[in-house]
Amino acid sequence: MIHSGRHLRIYHRKHHFFIAGGVILLSILFLAILGGFTDINIAKLSSGIGISLYRLIIGYLISLTLGVGIAIFLEYAAISEFFMPVLDVLQNVPSFALIPVFAIAFGYTNTMAIIFAATSIIWPILFYVLSALTTARKELNEAATVFGAVGEKRIWNYLVPLSFPAIITGSIVGISIGWEAVIGIEIIGLSSGVGVFLSQASSAGDRNTLLLGIVAILLVVFAINKLIWTPLIKKTHYYAE
C-alpha cells in the first residue's frame, strides 16, 4: 500500500496541460462572446463565480481535512462502530435547517457561507472513507501490521492510501452538494456571489442574464470535472485493493 508521489500527479504529459488550458480558455471565450452580444455584465458574473468558487474551495478543504481525519481516527482507535449511529443521525439533519443557527453565530457573512458549505460537504467524504476502512479485507490489515505499518506509519502508509479512492468519490459527491449549499446561502442572505447574481436576474425577470449565469456555472463545473476529478479517478486504480 506504499506508493510513490508521482502516482498522485494529475498530468504526466505536456499535451494534458494544453488540454486543461484549452478547456479554461474556451469557457472564458464563450462567456466573453455571449457578453459581447448582450447587455449582461460579464465582469459582475465572473466576480460572482469567483467569490462562490472561493467559498466552495475553502469549505471543501475544511471538510476534506476533518472528514478524512475523523474517519481515520475512528478506525485507528477501533471505535468506528460505536460512533457510526451518532454520525448517521447527524448526517440526516437537513443542512438548511441549521441556517438560523449559523446566522445567529456568524451573521450572513463570508465565514458563515464557508462553514455552512463545509458542514454540507463533509458527510459524503467522512462516510465513504469510513466505509472503505471498515470494510477492508482482514488480511490487508494483518499484512500491514506484519510489514511494520504501526503507529504513525500505519496512518500514512496504509490507512491514507487505502482511503484514496473513497476520498475522491466522496469529494465528487461532496462538491456537488457544496455548490448547492453555497449558491443557496448566497440567495438567502448574502450580498455577493453567483447566487446573488442569479437572484437579482430572477427578480428583474431578466431571462437572458439568468440563463447565462446558469450556463456559466455549468461550464465551471464541467471544467473542474475535466481538469481535476476525471484525472484523479484514473489514479484510484493505483490504490485499489
Which 3 state secondary structure label does DSSP give 2? coil
Which grid coordinates belong to 220?
465551471
pLDDT digits (tens, 9 = 90+) for 101-112: 999 999 999 999
Residues 6+ apart with CB under 8 A from 142: none
Rounded Cα gap, residues 33 and 38, in angstroms: 9
Which 3 state secondary structure label does DSSP give 9? coil
Supply the pTM of this predicted model.
Answer: 0.83
Rounded Cα gap, residues 210 and 203, in angstroms: 10
Burial class of residue 131 in the structure, from the number of CB atoms within 10 Å of its CB (0-12 exposed, 13-18 middle, 19+ buried): middle
Count of CB atoms situated within 10 Å of the CB of 41:
13
pLDDT digits (tens, 9 = 90+) for 142-200: 556 555 565 666 676 777 788 899 999 999 999 999 999 999 999 998 989 999 999 99
The CA–CA distances, whole Å, from 233 to 8, 100, 170, 199, 237 equal 11, 37, 11, 34, 8
Rounded Cα gap, residues 12 and 93, in angstroms: 42
Q: What is the mean pLDDT of residues 69-98?
A: 86
